[in-house]
Amino acid sequence: MTGGKGIKSLGPYDSTHERILETALGLFSTKGYQGASTREIAQEAGIAEVTLFRHFPSKEKLLQEILSRFSVLPALKAYIPAALELPYEEALVSLADHLLDTLVQIKDWVRIMQAEVQRSPEKLLTVFHGFIDDLFETYASFFRELQQRGTLGDFDPEYAARAFHGIVFCYFSIEELLHRKRYKANDRGEAIRQFMRIFALGTVSRTAAEA
Amino acid sequence: MTGGKGIKSLGPYDSTHERILETALGLFSTKGYQGASTREIAQEAGIAEVTLFRHFPSKEKLLQEILSRFSVLPALKAYIPAALELPYEEALVSLADHLLDTLVQIKDWVRIMQAEVQRSPEKLLTVFHGFIDDLFETYASFFRELQQRGTLGDFDPEYAARAFHGIVFCYFSIEELLHRKRYKANDRGEAIRQFMRIFALGTVSRTAAEA
DNA sequence: TGCCGGTGTAAGTAAGCGCTTACATCGTTT
DNA sequence: AAACGATGTAAGCGCTTACTTACACCGGCA
């Protein structure tokens, strides 16, 4: 009566594998990579520690597998065409809303990246840089298209993308990562609207603004 | 020939104390709190490990002393009056420049805060929240004053402060913390100018913008 | 039926950790 | 000259860590 508990085997990526990954994601994000022990991960996942090492050759490989399995950017990219057809400020608000949703969704991933990127220079940095570059390029293409349509001024679309991202990301970081909720009011929609109003006024073409 | 090396005693905060603090600051920021051992800190500081524990009762207290000894905000605040007398966009650029200088100066401190804030909820979070709130309020007061002078539109100055900070901080974070230098060009001044141009256009009063 | 893959328990390894103790040394102060 | 305070060396304590080995079990499949 000491053996397995009847969990079905479903191939290499069965539920045990997944359970370990998800549990480790949560623990790494709250306690840090060094702060979460393999004993603790196994215990919280409801498995034996030795089982963890049968699925992952080392703790480090477990971390790497966790950090390389998120790909939320395609969904963000796919939304750009729809946003292009909205009125400009409305488009900005909905893009910011989508970005914020996505960031909240991958909150643990972001937290680990931010905390661990110093320690493990090559692997994590490459993944994170790829994510950021891709994100910036996505938003830059949005601004570039609107510039060609004459809606926007003649700023550099890549810097605009960075500014847009900076505003939204820092809001996310302070509210979600640093637990600084309700800084002014618990109204996320209001914050986004205020931010995007400033950003929209700063980027529309002068002639469009005067209309 | 095994004893002290002739370092002068200068009171409770002598050079040994400082050396430990500075070395630990650097190591905590690159390897994380858990990743940097007291042995390693002592070795890099050129002292015996036991000396470290004579200066600091525990590793945790060492971290706390490191994180509570920075106070760069007064300098940032003191610059606001001068900025108020500059043309608006020029003022924004110089404020952003000052903020960026300050962030670079306390880079290690910020890195530790970002990485460790999850693990040690109360102490660090309190210090960091105080820092951020104070920073936001400083910039909000700048916008509030210019609104009263009629230079700016009628946006909420606190959200504007957050947007301003977000743009600058994310630029700093990506360039300095994530080592993503030369994203487009190695010209920090150009980036700030582009950012502040957008921000200025987004916040000036309509009548002032049309002039 | 018998094997096999995945899991469990139990025990243990070598290394590193934060931190302590005991004692020697050296410069300064009294 | 003697005491003192800050530092050094050396050893080690108790504990945790990532990771391993050996063996038992159990369900599904040939």
Could you write out the DSSP letters of every residue in A14-59?
A: -HHHHHHHHHHHHHHHHH-TTTS-HHHHHHHHTS-HHHHHHH-SSH
Please indicate, yes or no, whether residues B85 and B161 belong to a single structural domain of this protein.
yes
**Span A104-157, pLDDT tens digits:** 999 999 999 999 988 876 778 888 889 999 999 999 999 999 999 999 989 999
Q: How far is the CA of B64 from the C1' of D10 (A)?
A: 30
Please indicate, yes or no, whether residues B194 and B115 belong to a single structural domain of this protein.
yes
Tokens 């909205």 found at: A86
Query: What residues of chain B lie within 8 A of the CB of A183, using their CB?
Result: 136, 162
Please indicate, yes or no, whether residues A205 and A116 belong to a single structural domain of this protein.
yes
Q: Kindly state the average pLDDT of the residues B48-72.
A: 95
Q: Which helix (H) or strand (E) holds A92?
A: helix A88-105
Tally the domains of chain A: 2
Residue of chain B minimizing CA distance to A158? B184
Please indicate, yes or no, whether residues B97 and B171 belong to a single structural domain of this protein.
yes
Cβ atoms A156, A144 nearer than 8 A: no
Q: B140: closest CA among A177, A194, A99, A190?
A: A194
Out of A29, A114, A201, the one facing B201 most closely (by C-beta) is: A201
Q: How far A54 CA lies from chain B's nearest CA (Å)?
A: 26
Q: Which domain holds residue B31?
A: 15-67
Query: What residues of chain B lie within 8 A of the CB of A174, using their CB?
Result: 132, 162
> Do the domain assignments include residue A147?
yes
Task: Identify which has the larger pLDDT, B127 or B63.
Answer: B63
Query: What residues of chain B lie within 8 A of the CB of A162, using their CB?
Result: 167, 170-171, 174, 183, 191, 195
Q: In whole angstroms, how far apart are CA A28 and each of A116, A151, B88, B108, B176?
A: 9, 44, 45, 22, 24
Q: B197: closest CA among A163, A9, A209, A104?
A: A163
Query: Considering B67, B87, B110, which residue would you say is the last residue of a domain?
Result: B67
Please indicate, yes or no, whether residues B153 and B177 belong to a single structural domain of this protein.
yes
Q: How far is the CA of B10 from the C1' of D4 (A)?
A: 15
Nucleotides of strand D under 7 angstroms from a protein beta carbon: 5-11, 16-22, 24-28
Could you write out the DSSP letters of every residue in chain B?
A: --S---PPP-STT-HHHHHHHHHHHHHHHHH-TTTS-HHHHHHHHTS-HHHHHHH-SSHHHHHHHHHTS---HHHHHHHHHHHHTS-HHHHHHHHHHHHHHHHHHTHHHHHHHHHHTTTSHHHHHHHHHHHHHHHHHHHHHHHHHHHHTT-B-S--HHHHHHHHHHHHHHHHIIIIIS----SS-S-HHHHHHHHHHHHHHHHB-HHHHH-
> What is the pLDDT, as a whole number, of residue B209?
55
**Span A25-51, pLDDT tens digits:** 999 999 999 999 999 999 999 999 999
CATH of the domain at A59: 1.10.10.60
Residue B147 makes CB contacts below 8 A (sequence gap 6+) with: B153, B154, B157
When the pLDDT of each residue in chain A is averaged and rounded to a whole number, the result is 89
- The distance from CA B13 to its chain's CA centroid, rounded to whole angstroms, is 24
Please indicate, yes or no, whether residues B47 and B90 belong to a single structural domain of this protein.
no
Residue A149 per-residue DSSP state: T
Query: What residues of chain A lie within 8 A of the CB of B194, using their CB?
Result: 155-156, 159-160
Confidence of residue B31 (pLDDT cuts 50, 70, 90): very high
Query: Considering B45, B67, B89, which residue would you say is the last residue of a domain?
Result: B67
Give B191's Cβ-side CA count (13 Å radius): 24
Please indicate, yes or no, whether residues A79 and A150 belong to a single structural domain of this protein.
yes
Torsion sign over Cα A9, A10, A13, A15: negative
Confidence of residue B128 (pLDDT cuts 50, 70, 90): confident
- Give the least confident one: A5-9, B41-45, B155-159: A5-9
Is B65 (CB) below 7 Å from strand C? no
CB contact under 8 A, B158 and A184: yes
> Do the domain assignments include residue B111?
yes
Cβ atoms B25, B66 nearer than 8 A: yes
- Examine the pLDDT at A87 and tell me if it is beyond 80: yes
> Do the domain assignments include residue B26?
yes
- Examine the pLDDT at B8 and tell me if it is beyond 80: no
Confidence of residue B10 (pLDDT cuts 50, 70, 90): very low
Letter for the amino acid at B54? R
Q: How far is the CA of B51 from the C1' of C21 (A)?
A: 14
Q: B198: closest CA among B99, B89, B101, B84?
A: B89
pLDDT cut 90: percent of chain A above it: 71
Q: In whole angstroms, how far apart are CA A207 and each of A150, A210, B101?
A: 10, 5, 36
Please indicate, yes or no, whether residues A199 and A100 belong to a single structural domain of this protein.
yes
Please indicate, yes or no, whether residues A26 and A79 belong to a single structural domain of this protein.
no
Please indicate, yes or no, whether residues A114 and A192 belong to a single structural domain of this protein.
yes
Angle at B74 between CA B73 and CA B80, to 5 degrees: 95
Is A156 (CB) below 7 Å from strand C? no
> Do the domain assignments include residue B2?
no
> Do the domain assignments include residue A142?
yes
> Do the domain assignments include residue A32?
yes
> Do the domain assignments include residue A7?
no
Tokens 């700093």 found at: B172
Is A55 (CB) below 7 Å from strand D? no
Out of A32, A180, A198, the one facing B203 most closely (by C-beta) is: A198
- Examine the pLDDT at A161 and tell me if it is beyond 80: yes
Residue A175 per-residue DSSP state: I
d(CA A169, CA A185): 18
Confidence of residue A13 (pLDDT cuts 50, 70, 90): low
Q: Which of A27, A167, A192, A206 to mutate to test the interface with B (most CBs of B within 10 A)?
A: A167
Please indicate, yes or no, whether residues B135 and B199 belong to a single structural domain of this protein.
yes
> What is the pLDDT, as a whole number, of residue A91?
97
Confidence of residue A190 (pLDDT cuts 50, 70, 90): very high
CATH of the domain at B85: 1.10.357.10
Confidence of residue B70 (pLDDT cuts 50, 70, 90): confident
> Do the domain assignments include residue A56?
yes
Please indicate, yes or no, whether residues A45 and A93 belong to a single structural domain of this protein.
no
d(CA A119, CA A116): 5
d(CA A35, CA A37): 6
